[in-house]
Chains A and B, each alone.
Chain A
Amino acid sequence: GAVVSQHPSWVICKSGTSVKIECRSLDFQATTMFWYRQFPKQSLMLMATSNEGSKATYEQGVEKDKFLINHASLTLSTLTVTSAHPEDSSFYICSASWGGAYNEQFFGPGTRLTVL
């Protein structure tokens, strides 16, 4: 149980285009989903937290107009990288939790974005 999927697993796009990454909780309802970014040989950095039906909360330094997050249902959150540039190339990982006293996070397999 507690499986989280991401789609696509990798994507290559041209500079200036927008890319949408999906994060789905397959066997549970995720009240909260998280988006992380990981540059090569670096740690995971939390970008934003999204609760179903409400606006995402972005971490300091993350541009909310560039990284659009939508959490429209209890099983799906999307991250759209708008007007992507080469510096946005990274490994994007989502996680999901079902709430409760302790919000254990279950991580997706990640999406590798390469912007040419």
Chain B
Amino acid sequence: AQKVTQAQTEISVVEKEDVTLDCVYETRDTTYYLFWYKQPPSGELVFLIRRNSFDEQNEISGRYSWNFQKSTSSFNFTITASQVVDSAVYFCALSEAKTSYDKVIFGPGTSLSVIP
């Protein structure tokens, strides 16, 4: 069974602080993809990153970075020097090779508020 857990329901930080959003996943498949999406108040999903299960390299993109650790089944997302525009709901998601990657299971989301 697939499962994505985002234990932090809501996080508030002051602007310029760093913040890490946690994601723990569960799958029996050895081949899978992990994602992060941002959903601002407008509702439109914004794709942030896709990572396959064979690539454990951490990634940095500007103020964003991702830490993928298969040993702990985690795919955490860090925003450095947060800004008000980062305020949104962030979803971690998983898709397995068994389902031809079609079925994307979303975590419950973490609502991030960046306070000026």
Residues of A within 8 A of B (CB): 32, 34, 41-46, 49, 91, 93, 97, 102-110, 112
Contact = CB atoms under 8 A, between A and B. Distances in A.
Interface of A is mostly: strand
Nearest to B104: A105
Interface of B is mostly: loop
Contacts of A41: 111
B106 A109 contact: no
Contact of A42 (B33, B100, B108): B108
A27 to B, nearest CB: 16
Interface of B: 33, 37, 42-45, 47, 50, 91, 100-109, 111
Contacts of B33: 102
A21 to B, nearest CB: 14
Contacts of B43: 91, 93, 109-110, 112
Contact of A103 (B42, B44, B45, B102): B102
